[in-house]
Amino acid sequence: MADEDQIIETVDENGNVIKFELYDIVEVDEQEYALLLSVEDEEESDEVVLMRLTKDGEDYLFETIDDDAEFEKVAAYVENMDEEEDEE
């Protein structure tokens, strides 16, 4: 049952429901971001999707990162995390 809690459903710009697995949550400049893995495209299972997390009461909202500079900053942070893990 715990695995089901990790599945996030989002709706793309065409109204299609896409399911993601919540891989991790990172904090960059006091803003939380979710690292999501697509559960439907088995071939692209290593592709990570970054989304901004905002809290609405008790619920979390997943938002697309529209700002290129913000996206690049978070992507660089995640890449540095991966490199640090590889060095251990």
pLDDT in tens, 65-80: 999 999 999 999 999 9
Which pLDDT tens digit goes with each residue over 5-30?
Answer: 588 888 878 998 888 999 999 999 99
For residue 75, what pLDDT is reported? 94
pLDDT at 38 over 90: no
Can you give the three-state secondary structure of the chain, one letter per residue? CHHHHCEEEEECCCCCEEEEEEEEEEEECCEEEEEEEECCCHHHCCCEEEEEEEEECCEEEEECCCCHHHHHHHHHHHHHHHHHHHHC
Domain count, the chain: 1
User: Which residue range(s) make up the domain with 13?
Assistant: 2-87
What is the reported pLDDT for 88?
A: 64
pLDDT number for residue 3: 47
